[in-house]
Chain A
């Protein structure tokens, strides 16, 4: 499978290294030779220096043989032109473009039906706003994803130091929590992804991922002793595009919202566009401003400025001053491992969101959606079980699953099953699979290899 990626920025780089790891043929195109050198030194991909919107460069990259074109430069115009050129040269290539401008929002569908025929338009800002909303609705969760049109959530929580479940073996879990069945799919411990067995213990500080139905969520969260009041008051620091989108969404849910923004002209713009939101001009790290605005009564502080360090410091300051919790935006991937150490649990990243969205479109077979876990070492996929696939018709314990993968849920019509070794997957079930990075190829094969069989 050949994939051409235009743009060697953070998103392009991470997708390229992911795909190269899975033995796909990847060609990365960028104007900037230095950015390309970083890609070619660390991953096994081909690189071409040149503009991704130029027909001759795309020819050279082998666009005619590529199955997918990913246009992920930081310029919407370049991405659009790259797709347009690809559409001319090779109409069968699937095109995915990252387009961030809000002006394009209403035209995503038009891009699909008319040239440049972009199959999927990804706006990471919209994705980030969705993620923030999900995190706000699941207080205490560090990571929330959705499957089966939102009916199933996969949730990651940090186990507190003196939590009831700390030190408990997974096999003892049912007695400890009563009748409720809970399948713990993945534990992230010190940046290592572990697919646990009954013998593994839960330790304080672990990031634990489980699958549950939407309506059970608060119940299960209480097992982990994570309770929080519903969100009534929100403070947004940074009135950029994401901040504005989020404020608009919050207004419709009648949540009390304040925005702190540094630039006077942007403040004026925001005040004009927003009705109920209080727009404050100032610096998010200004302690006086925060106490004036009663930061202690705020339920969630969301820091969305373009400066990573400001985001981190502001949220630390706000929680110190009594804000119930903080969600922060981080772009640099190298900062992720630090977040837990400084006590920040809820992190969103437009780039990670973009990567997640792109991933589900690259997966072969009937993969409906896929989400990368923190640190990208593992992935969760929702897959349609095809009649011809090996997974159908035999009890799960007898299927030779790749090491490092686990079936975490089966969705059959309205029913949601938490599987055991005896569960049997039926054709057209949707199954939810957790897989470590090295097991992904194996899973893809298991689910889809027979697709090519007529």
Chain B
């Protein structure tokens, strides 16, 4: 492990996080609120720390990057981004404890959207913008962004990319990783612009439209309003946001193919079909359940609120237009399942990812089939191609780790004095990067009241979920530290 080289790259990332604070600063200056001083201080600290590391270790530049070093850079880089991203919240007003500011920042970068703020609307505009902007940066990945715009990362770029976007079957859109990263960010930016325009057509102000776009596209879920999307109470806006949440939950390489003139790409992709079918099925079940118990006046409303909540949770966004705590048990359990299921691989959404679940189903089916025909040769296929055994192994390993870590963390939460429902759902929602849970962390509540230790635990869970476990967990494997 060449730690000095790792610090050199992490320094560049910190520097970059500092520079990205210039955008909220511009909004702060425009609205002349008291976030300007806070942001200026944060920029000063962040940029100088980053520059210091970068310059101090610049002689350590290497031509190649090993896989273990790539993982270290990504894990450290994300932790550092969380720390420095917390500065504006920590310095503002001085009311927040450090762990709260860190929680808010990590929740932002990992696009979870769980908040410890009780009165969001009281924050100055500049900070609201920062809160949304870190989700937008974290959604496609700060490392992927750096690969696209910082050429010096070029050589080891692939190791970093694999550590940050650990899709089961990596698809490179272009021969070179830098071109791939650039394309993904271009598609992402293009959709963002489209959503801002659509929201403004619906009557949302420019500031709110930008903030909400910055938290929809990465499936983040921070809102600028205390009541989240329910604040706007508009069918049109619900529709626009559902549409863009769904887009963000689909593999971005499919978007690229569609924009290249292959509209059937969505349909031809097995995972995308599975994802859309899961969304449709869940919406239908929830809407039926809601109208059966007459939660809403008409079946139309049941569909509207059911659809929004289902899409928001399954894409791991976490916006809310209804308090699903009041819903019947079946609907709640479906939402809980959606928290685990998550969106497609290669999308900005979190969770276990549809692709892995699909492969797991096929694997289970094969086991059953082999009981009937012990001598049959069955290959697991995905899009007409056989899935190699090592991919299958890593998928099963991932799923067992995910469930195992969920259980351990939930037990630990219970041990910290959190009640049963809250402990289970807070961990599930943090690992899936969703946001709201059930119990005392439901859609109309927040995370402020949790004990400090529980917040640290959830911060760890959010990072685990965003970096898809292996990259974070590798650090606690003893073999990693052995020379």
Contacts and interface: CB of A to CB of B under 8 A. Distances in A.
Interface of A: 2, 20-21, 23, 25-27, 33, 41, 44-46
What 5 pairs between A and B have smallest CB-CB spacing? A25-B175, A46-B175, A46-B172, A44-B177, A44-B158
Contacts of A46: 172, 174-175
A29 B72 CA distance: 31
A41 B388 contact: no
Given A44-B157, A44-B158, A23 B176 contact: yes
B276 interface: no
A27 B175 CA distance: 6
A27 B157 CA distance: 17
A45 B388 contact: no
15 contacts: A2-B175, A20-B176, A21-B155, A23-B154, A25-B175, A25-B176, A25-B179, A26-B175, A41-B67, A44-B155, A44-B158, A44-B175, A44-B176, A45-B175, A45-B176
Interface string B159-196: 00000000000001011111100000000000000000
Contacts of B67: 41
B453 to A, nearest CB: 40
B172 to A, nearest CB: 5
B380 to A, nearest CB: 15
Contacts, number: 26
B65 to A, nearest CB: 11
A26 B178 CA distance: 13
Contacts of B177: 44
Given A25-B174, A46-B175, 15 more contacts: A2-B175, A21-B155, A23-B154, A23-B176, A25-B175, A25-B176, A27-B175, A33-B388, A41-B67, A44-B158, A44-B175, A44-B177, A45-B175, A45-B176, A46-B172
A139 B172 CA distance: 49
A20 B67 CA distance: 18
Contacts of A41: 67
B381 to A, nearest CB: 14
Nearest to A19: B175
A45 B178 CA distance: 11
A19 to B, nearest CB: 10
Interface of B: 67, 154-155, 157-158, 172, 174-179, 388
Nearest to A23: B176
B395 to A, nearest CB: 17
Contacts of B176: 20, 23, 25, 44-45
A76 B162 CA distance: 35
Contacts of A27: 175
A258 to B, nearest CB: 45
A2 B176 CA distance: 10
Contacts of B174: 25, 46
A27 B174 CA distance: 9
A26 B177 CA distance: 11
Contacts of B388: 33
Nearest to A43: B158
A26 B176 CA distance: 8
A44 B153 CA distance: 12
Contacts of A45: 175-176
B11 to A, nearest CB: 22
B156 to A, nearest CB: 9
A58 B290 CA distance: 53
B413 to A, nearest CB: 38
Contacts of B175: 2, 25-27, 44-46
A46 B155 CA distance: 14
Contacts of B158: 44
Candidate in A26, A44, A45, A46 with the most chain B CB atoms within 10 angstroms: A44
A26 B175 CA distance: 6
Contacts of A20: 176
A164 to B, nearest CB: 36
Contacts of B179: 25
Nearest to B170: A40
Contacts of A33: 388
A26 B172 CA distance: 12
A46 B177 CA distance: 9
A44 B174 CA distance: 10
A23 B179 CA distance: 11
Contacts of B157: 44
A25 B175 CA distance: 5
B148 to A, nearest CB: 14
Contacts of A26: 175
Contacts of A23: 154, 176
Nearest to B388: A33
A283 B77 CA distance: 59
Nearest to A42: B64
B227 to A, nearest CB: 47
A44 B154 CA distance: 9
A197 to B, nearest CB: 20
A33 B169 CA distance: 13
A33 B385 CA distance: 13
Nearest to A33: B388
Contacts of A21: 155
Contacts of B172: 46
A26 B158 CA distance: 14
Scoring B154, B157, B172 by chain A CB atoms within 10 A of each residue's CB, the highest score goes to: B172
Contacts of B154: 23, 44
B162 to A, nearest CB: 9
A21 B172 CA distance: 17
Nearest to B390: A37
B346 to A, nearest CB: 16
Nearest to B180: A46
A18 to B, nearest CB: 13
A44 B157 CA distance: 8
A342 B174 CA distance: 44
Contacts of A44: 154-155, 157-158, 175-178
A429 to B, nearest CB: 33
Nearest to B162: A41
Nearest to B157: A44
A44 B162 CA distance: 12
Nearest to A28: B175
Residue of A20, A26, A27, A33 with highest tally of chain B CB at under 10 A = A20
Nearest to A438: B63
Nearest to A21: B155
Nearest to B156: A44
A20 B174 CA distance: 12
Contacts of B178: 44
Nearest to A25: B175
Nearest to A46: B175
A123 B146 CA distance: 43
A27 B172 CA distance: 11
A46 B170 CA distance: 11
A33 B177 CA distance: 20
A189 to B, nearest CB: 18
A447 B473 CA distance: 49
A115 B176 CA distance: 32
B70 to A, nearest CB: 11
A328 B273 CA distance: 59
